[in-house]
Amino acid sequence: MSDWWKGAVIYQIYPRSFKDSSNNGVGDLPGITEKLEYVQSLGVDAIWISPFFKSPMHDFGYDISDYRAVDPLFGDLDDFKSLLDKAHSLGLKVIIDQVLSHCSIEHDWFQQSRQNKSNAKADWFVWADPSENGGPPNNWLSFFGGSAWTYDDARGQYYLHNFLSNQPDLNFHNPDVQQAQLDNLKFWLDLGVDGFRLDVANFYFHDKALRDNPVFPEGERSTVGVTDSNPYSRQAHIYSITQAENIEFIKKMRALMDLYPGTTTMGEINGEHSLEIMAEYTQGDDRMHMAYTFDLLGEDCTKNAIESIAEEFNQTLKDGWACWALCNHDVKRVVSRWGGDNPSADFALAASAMLLSLKGSVCMYQGEELGLPEGDVAYEDIQDPYGKPFWPEYKGRDGCRTPMVWDSTADFAGFSTSKPWLPVDKLQTQMAVDLQSNHDNSTLNKTRRLIKWRNQQPALRQGEFTLLDLPGVLAWLRTSEEQQVLVVINLSSETHELTLPFAHVAKMGLEEFSYTLNENQLQLPPYQAFFADVE
């Protein structure tokens, strides 16, 4: 099926923390290959692997120094080919990260570009003279704090970096840069990958005039930034990102993808008014296949907030397609973020049920199927360059990147035989794969059954979405030609007595949740879900 991605469940793997086969404390590609049968057992359609390319690792792989090479920390190109072959033999698609907007300061392109203003790569990056007062050219800010500009002594100019100063932004106004990145995509397509997760897909172009960004209006909702203490979230990024020229490059990427039937693109969109950007970037059949949304990666899990997000997507995206997530390698795990300090054991499954019943595709992050809470990482163990500057209000991203827990009886929970790059969390070890696999009613086994059941329901995979108003719970209809499914999710700590607005309600063959149904009267306990055929 060429549209396999539409309604797919995609399992995100953060390679540093998944499985270490070389026992150096860092996960690698052979480690992923070793655990692919486990991933297949979850019932997912595809894996998304975060960056494994050659990199000095200032931002753990999102600063690429060679787009076509595997970093020796993770293995080599043959290891990736073996992973790809095994995944395909198991029926799993493989999506890999592509970080096109910026590269490493150690990339040969940048090393050439910084030499002078007349070399062959002189305008491959965004260079600018100092302002009249000798400072940065404008007020643009880095996502990681401070100015988005760094002065380079060798060139005598500032260069732009939306992230770390080790991650200079490429100048996509230069057609040669565009073609070079398209060629890099083609390299991996020729190897047989099934798609790309496009990192910050709306960051490729900048305003040529380098105009100052205005202050972000108070009271408006933005998905930019992860903490109010970061000044980046207080600026409206009108000129530094999301430029009109971006669409034309997206179209060039789609034209390339169309030469490889069955491949897909999943674009990460980060910016003010992200939903409107997603709709624009996924409309029609000549742009991105789907957009990865941050809207459920925030702190607000109230009924009103989730309903507002779901309905806004439904009304705005039209023929576009979203990919939803509750967890990833950049945010606190949802069990801790939404479930509180002592989350119910049922909360993780109820949250997954909600995620898997929305209209769109789904990304699930490694360990989410186990119901893992956020890992505990002491200040002295922090590795994330984003963590220490904003401590203690924001502790960085290491807590969601702690090693996967495979074996509760083994050293370092079976992740490695050497001390891992981040500490293994003791609470997470008590929720390891070996323990949960042996219990039929564990979060892991319930999640397996939930995913496999969901994938057999046409309405849940690709059906239309209609929001319903039921007190205290989330409720909606998913409708396809074959069926109409009522979804009711209780993410609260209270039991709700509900009168369902349907005369005929038939529960479906899913036994993972607790509820009482008497005709159209539903009693739904805390952190439970209900699915039914309705007329």
pLDDT tens, position by position, 419-430: 999 999 999 999
Spatial contact of 373 and 343, defined as CB atoms under 8 Å apart: yes
Arithmetic mean of pLDDT, 413-440: 97
DSSP 271: S
Task: Give residue 135's pLDDT.
Answer: 96
One-letter identity of residue 372? L
Lookup: tokens for 118: 């007349």
Task: Give residue 318's pLDDT.
Answer: 87
Spatial contact of 20 and 73, defined as CB atoms under 8 Å apart: no
* CA atoms 366, 35, 8, 458: torsion sign: negative
Per-residue confidence band for 535, with pLDDT thresholds at 50, 70 and 90: confident
Task: Give residue 223's pLDDT.
Answer: 56
Task: Give residue 221's pLDDT.
Answer: 54
Residue with tokens 């049968």: 37
Task: Give residue 220's pLDDT.
Answer: 66
- Say yes or no to pLDDT of 140 above 70: yes
What is the β-pairing status of strands 264-268 and 195-198? parallel
Please provide the average confidence, as pLDDT, over all residues in the chain: 95
- Say yes or no to pLDDT of 224 above 70: no
- Pick from 535, 532, 534, 530: which is nearest to 497 by CA? 530
Task: Give residue 145's pLDDT.
Answer: 85
Do you find a cis peptide bond into 420, omega within 30 degrees of 0?
no
Spatial contact of 185 and 253, defined as CB atoms under 8 Å apart: yes
* Sheet with 157-160, side-by-side order of all strands: 127-128, 157-160, 149-152
Per-residue confidence band for 529, with pLDDT thresholds at 50, 70 and 90: very high
- Say yes or no to pLDDT of 387 above 80: no
Candidate list 268, 280, 374, 425, residue with the active-site label: 268
Task: Give residue 226's pLDDT.
Answer: 46
| pLDDT tens string 80-107 | 999 999 999 999 999 999 999 999 999 9
Q: Which residues fall within 8 angstroms of residue 208, CB to CB, at 6 or more apart?
A: 173
Task: Give residue 395's pLDDT.
Answer: 80
Spatial contact of 534 and 504, defined as CB atoms under 8 Å apart: yes
| Phi then psi dihedrals of residue 252, to 5 deg | -65, -40
| pLDDT tens string 242-261 | 999 999 999 999 999 999 99
Task: Tell me how long the chain is.
Answer: 535
One-letter identity of residue 339? G
Q: How far apart are CA 513 and CA 7, in angstroms?
A: 23
Per-residue confidence band for 219, with pLDDT thresholds at 50, 70 and 90: low
Task: Give residue 525's pLDDT.
Answer: 98
Task: Give residue 32's pLDDT.
Answer: 98
DSSP code string of 287-342: S-SEEE--TTSSS---HHHHHHHHHHHHHHHTT--EEEES--TTS--HHHHHH-SS
Per-residue confidence band for 168, with pLDDT thresholds at 50, 70 and 90: very high
Arithmetic mean of pLDDT, 144-173: 96
One-letter identity of residue 515? Y
- Reduced to 3 states (helix: H, G, I; strand: E, B; else coil), residue 230 is coil
In this structure, the dihedral spanned by the alpha carbons of residues 152, 158, 161 and 162, taken in order and rounded to 10 degrees, is: 150
pTM beyond cutoff 0.85: yes
* Residue, of 342 and 28, whose pLDDT is higher: 28
Lookup: tokens for 142: 């880095």
Q: How far apart are CA 432 and CA 444, in angstroms?
A: 9
Arithmetic mean of pLDDT, 7-25: 98
Least confident range from 74-78, 105-109, 212-216: namely 212-216
Q: How far apart are CA 384 and CA 58, in angstroms?
A: 9
Task: Give residue 392's pLDDT.
Answer: 72
- Say yes or no to pLDDT of 309 above 90: yes
What is the β-pairing status of strands 290-292 and 127-128? unpaired
Spatial contact of 506 and 532, defined as CB atoms under 8 Å apart: yes
Least confident range from 373-387, 445-459, 518-532: namely 373-387
The domains found in the chain, sorted by start residue, are: 9-103+175-454 (3.20.20.80), 464-534 (2.60.40.1180)
- Surface-to-core class of residue 300, CB atoms within 10 Å of its CB (0-12 exposed, 13-18 middle, 19+ buried): middle
Least confident range from 18-22, 166-170, 224-228: namely 224-228
Q: ∠ CA 263-266-270 to the nearest 5 degrees?
A: 165
- Say yes or no to pLDDT of 227 above 90: no
Q: ∠ CA 423-424-427 to the nearest 5 degrees?
A: 130
Q: How far apart are CA 374 and CA 399, in angstroms?
A: 5
* Residue, of 483 and 224, whose pLDDT is higher: 483
- Say yes or no to pLDDT of 393 above 80: no
| Phi then psi dihedrals of residue 176, to 5 deg | -65, -35
Continuous segment of H or E residues that includes residue 160: strand 157-160
Residue 207 bears catalytic tag: no
Q: How far apart are CA 313 and CA 534, in angstroms?
A: 24
Residue 37 bears catalytic tag: no
| Phi then psi dihedrals of residue 504, to 5 deg | -120, 115
Per-residue confidence band for 306, with pLDDT thresholds at 50, 70 and 90: very high
What is the β-pairing status of strands 195-198 and 93-98? parallel
Candidate list 199, 384, 398, 425, residue with the active-site label: 199
Arithmetic mean of pLDDT, 131-155: 95
